[in-house]
Structure 1
Amino acid sequence: MQEFVLQADDLDLLIQAIRGEGYQLFGPRLRDGAIVYDEINSAADLPRGWTDEQEKGRYRVVRRDDGAYFGYAASPHSWKKFLQLPRRQVWRAQKNNRGLEITEIVEEAPSMAFIGVRSCELHAIAAQDRVFIDDRYRNDSYAQRREKLFTVAVSCTSAAATCFCTSMHTGPEVTLPSDLVMTEVSHGGEHYFLIGSGSNRGGQILQRLPVKPAARQHLEMAQSAVRRAVQQMEQGPRSFDSSDLKELLYRNYESPSWDQVAERCLSCANCTMACPTCFCSTVEDTTDLTGDQAARWERWDSCFTADFSYISGGSVRPDTRSRYRQWMTHKLATWYDQFGTSGCVGCGRCIAWCPVGIDLTEEVRRIRALEQSGPDKTIPEKQ
């Protein structure tokens, strides 16, 4: 992929070129004390000069010392809320003089563009593609939205303390196809984007921008910025060996670690709502007070809710221990058997948005330590 230089002052030209193609554009915005994904109309809507600080059960936005547009790590939201809608109507029924008339709700999927998609999030979207498009049970709502999607991916040049995409081999450099791929460089008085196209649609947009071919120093500065993010994660507290996660969890299905984490877990489902790959849903049927109208809705659900695994006679997973084990084992182990990859992309959202600060990477280390040395082994501190 040939790469070019787009000056930061010309970023709005990119945004307007995408909007000019009829796309509804979504990207990061600063709102309510967080960097969230929402509709944007210009570069002025982006969180320029802001970053996020994340730790176990903690999220804060703070000012950067430069004017970076994409200088944050992971939004509280993930892009899945635009593709797998949190709540959508499936059909409605109306009683009339001819009986009951049922109408299927067929939506017209909008043409959407995402700007600021990180490498881990591209992997998350690819994971949901395997669930909703490539698997036996196709979700037409998701598939139609996904088909029209235009993505502008951005390599990460800084990492939050909760990030561990290097352990999951999903970033920080963009490694999956995207219509456009950018790396932001803000250093020594220079501020530009290294940009390249990964599709015909992306190439058409790129031709309309005032770009120039990237020189060697541009490429080196961009690569150096990405390496900085790699070093932050590899030297940080969340880096761990993921090479044998599936086998490790299968061997430790009865590990005492599940009892330990269950003493803290609230079964609140925050981790699954924030996770960019969790796809569990349920259906609910509603009627009005007269009984003349009814509707069926599909909405997000979680394996942490008591009713999710309920069948005749009771819940398959009646306690927090079994629910947390189901979530983590599915995410890191049985997902491989179902879809060929891990269900975790290392974004760290489940760590930051857990109200009691449960850390998935610590749980992996605890299971490994207990297996190696018995139940009295403490978790080794990351050096």
Structure 2
Amino acid sequence: MTDTPNAGAALDGQSEAVLDSDALHALVRVLQQRGRAVIGPTVRDQAIVLAELDSGDDLPHGWGVELEAGRYRIRRRVDTAVFAHSAGPQSWKSFLHPQRVRQWTADRGSDGELTVREEKPQSVSYAFLGVRACDLRAIRILDRVMIGGRFPDPAYGSRRTSAFLIAVECTEPGATCFCVSMDSGPAVDTGYDLVLTEVLDGAGHRFLCRSGSEEGAAVLAALPRQSADDTTRTAAADAVRKAAAHMGRSMPPVDLHALMRDTLEADRWDDVTARCLNCGNCTMVCPTCFCTTTEDVSDLTGDHAERWRRWDSCYDLDFTLLHGGPVRASKRSRYRQWLTHKIGTWHDQFGSTGCVGCGRCIVWCPTGIDLTEEAHALHREAAEKRTSG
């Protein structure tokens, strides 16, 4: 590999280079100098979480995870890989579509006059470092929901349009990953400013980096880098292909939209309902669940009031509350609503599935319910009924 001079070097919008592991420190610094809050994975509270990074040292160098249904543990790796870990408890939704946002405030003055002030979206310029292919797809799905329709959300739009996305191709899937089944990874194809593929082999620890926008090319041009070489390209491509062949989970190879439509009365719903706590954890960690409710609060004097928007869940009994009571009063109906919407009727609303195969809902379910297992069980039950009928 030949060194490429940094100072004054210009790159086009589709440039490619190789970065060494120390270049991640420079990447964080360059993004901060461009006025961006850099959000990326870091180790905190015995988990790999998403938080603002002060420097490249905050990244999870040498940390991995052990995943299973209802189980999450971090572990020390034998190498210094930075991105060889699966999705943690958060997604980028937490920053683009925050859990709680104030809508307006109202104050009554001494003369009794009421003044209402609309809450303006906070001005923030994010750089998301380490966006997996599945989460990149999730962001595109949220874009369709939040700003792609007739009534766009200005708060989401202000955060999203200014966000700089550094994607990472997965080279080591977790035990609960199934992005291949949902056609959302592990390779990154579009929708990024920069994309990194981590390579660790006899030639060292490095990243193949491609730009996907003019700003991405400008950031890459500001980093210490080397020309992309065939050895690194081949190693990167092989690592991604190997990851695709070693998914921890899979969906049944059928039309999931049709499967959900045709199994609404399946016995399997009773089985999963017996295990489901209706806690809503799966909707909280899901990178595409977007439902909200509003709550009004006031002080003790009644002279100050606020309206807040906060995440809500279709598992909440009050989610479908009407004057005569909730529409979905049973646990069975609420779990069925979540799963059939996520991988079924989402198509009818938004033209795609709402699941990206990240596996978070499996890991963070306290009773270990696995939606891929449920989909396979529904498929088997439907096939058995067709055979016996």
Please give the TM-score of this superposition, normalised by the length of structure 2: 0.94
Task: Say which of 80, 99, 107 aligns to 2:93.
Answer: 80
- Structure 2 residue 5 is matched with structure 1 residue 11: no
> Which residue does the alignment assign to 1:30?
43
Which structure 2 residues correspond to residues 145-184 of structure 1 after superposition, within 5 A? Answer: 145-184=159-198
Which structure 2 residues correspond to residues 201-280 of structure 1 after superposition, within 5 A? Answer: 201-233=215-247, 236=248, 238-280=249-291
| Per-residue deviation, 1:98 | 4.1
Cα gap change, 1:330 to 1:242, in 2 (>3 Å): farther
- Where 2:160 maps in the other structure, the secondary structure is helix
**Structure 2: any 5+ residue segments left out of the alignment?**
1-13
| Per-residue deviation, 1:107 | 2.7
| Per-residue deviation, 1:243 | 4.1
CA contact (8 A) 1:3 1:194 kept: yes
Work out the CA distance in 2 between the residues paired with 1:205 and 1:90: 35
> Which residue does the alignment assign to 1:313?
324
CA contact (8 A) 1:182 1:193 kept: yes
Task: Say which of 70, 88, 92 aligns to 1:57.
Answer: 70
> Which residue does the alignment assign to 1:332?
343
- Where 1:330 maps in the other structure, the secondary structure is helix
> Which residue does the alignment assign to 1:381?
none
CA contact (8 A) 2:121 2:158 kept: no
- Structure 2 residue 331 is matched with structure 1 residue 294: no
Work out the CA distance in 2 between the residues paired with 1:288 and 1:191: 56
CA contact (8 A) 1:119 1:176 kept: no
| Per-residue deviation, 1:344 | 0.1
CA contact (8 A) 1:132 1:139 kept: yes
Alignment length (residue pairs): 374
Work out the CA distance in 1 between the residues paired with 2:123 and 2:370: 37
| Per-residue deviation, 1:293 | 1.1
The letter for the 1-side match of 2:279 is C
> Which residue does the alignment assign to 1:195?
209
> Which residue does the alignment assign to 1:359?
370
- Where 2:355 maps in the other structure, the secondary structure is coil
**Structure 1: any 5+ residue segments left out of the alignment?**
378-383
Cα gap change, 1:168 to 1:135, in 2 (>3 Å): same
| Per-residue deviation, 1:14 | 1.2
Work out the CA distance in 2 between the residues paired with 1:331 and 1:146: 23
Work out the CA distance in 2 between the residues paired with 1:375 and 1:29: 49
The letter for the 2-side match of 1:293 is H
- Where 1:129 maps in the other structure, the secondary structure is helix
| Per-residue deviation, 1:376 | 12
RMSD: 1.4
Work out the CA distance in 1 between the residues paired with 2:285 and 2:191: 24
Task: Say which of 268, 284, 293 aligns to 1:282.
Answer: 293
CA contact (8 A) 1:8 1:193 kept: yes
Work out the CA distance in 2 between the residues paired with 1:55 and 1:323: 24
> Which residue does the alignment assign to 1:68?
81
Work out the CA distance in 1 between the residues paired with 2:144 and 2:37: 25
Structure 1 residues 80-135: Cα deviation after superposition (integer angstroms, max 9, x where no partner): 00010100110111112142211111133200100000000000000000011001
Work out the CA distance in 2 between the residues paired with 1:156 and 1:112: 22
- Where 1:134 maps in the other structure, the secondary structure is coil
Work out the CA distance in 2 between the residues paired with 1:257 and 1:133: 36
Structure 1 residues 121-170: Cα deviation after superposition (integer angstroms, max 9, x where no partner): 00000000001100122111101100110010000000110000000000
Structure 1 residues 302-323: Cα deviation after superposition (integer angstroms, max 9, x where no partner): 0000011101110010011000
- Structure 2 residue 21 is matched with structure 1 residue 21: no
The letter for the 2-side match of 1:33 is Q
Work out the CA distance in 2 between the residues paired with 1:22 and 1:376: 62
| Per-residue deviation, 1:329 | 0.5
Which stretches of structure 1, 4 residues or longer, exceed 3 Å deviation after superposition? 374-377
| Per-residue deviation, 1:354 | 0.2
Work out the CA distance in 2 between the residues paired with 1:340 and 1:33: 38
Work out the CA distance in 1 between the residues paired with 2:330 and 2:252: 29
The letter for the 2-side match of 1:127 is I
Task: Say which of 131, 141, 154 aligns to 1:140.
Answer: 154
- Structure 2 residue 124 is matched with structure 1 residue 110: yes
Please give the TM-score of this superposition, normalised by the length of structure 1: 0.95
CA contact (8 A) 1:93 1:100 kept: yes
CA contact (8 A) 2:295 2:307 kept: yes
| Per-residue deviation, 1:239 | 1.6
| Per-residue deviation, 1:242 | 4.6
